[in-house]
Amino acid sequence: MNELPTWLLDSDAEALSDEQLAQLESLFAAIFPGDPARGIPSANNVGAAKFVSRLLARDAGVYWEIANWKKLYPAALSALDAVSQQRFQTPLKSLASQQATELIQEMEKNLLAGLPPSIDQPKLFKTLLRHCLQGCLADPGWQGQLVCGCRTNLATLPPRWSISTSSPGCMAEIISGNRAWTS
């Protein structure tokens, strides 16, 4: 009898704790805040953090980097929480959007003080960005949301955001105001 590969089986298993999910939601809210006035949901509205948790619950046979991500997320979220507590006197999960954005921008440039040297900040930034977007736009078969279950035209994203997939090997380039975040 042929059994389906584990990656094809629908699963509600999650790898991140409630605390880690809340921490990730704080970061994702800054990466993809949405635009309620235009009906564009945020990463948190569509459950992008749950996408990551469910992805991490899959085995390495689904994708070769999962084993590394399973180690990265708990370590990185714990370290970012410590930075947040020291810098803002508040846990990562409770950061204001501007504070989370500040941490993310510094991480992207490898300038976030307080993270252990074992954490490659630009790589962590790209992983968070990529997973946030995948959680928002991925096919529901992969536990993604396609932005609230509808195949939203990327042209309907808020004016400050645009997504380009023209760069080779690049999932997306997000341009926010005068800055570009590329994964």
Contact between residue 169 and residue 183 where contact means Cβ atoms under 8 Å apart: no
pTM over 0.95: no
Query: How much is the average pLDDT of 166-170?
Result: 35
Neighbours of 108 (CB within 10 A): 19
Residues 6+ apart with CB under 8 A from 74: 16, 20
pLDDT digit string, tens, across residues 83-112: 999 999 999 999 999 999 999 999 999 999
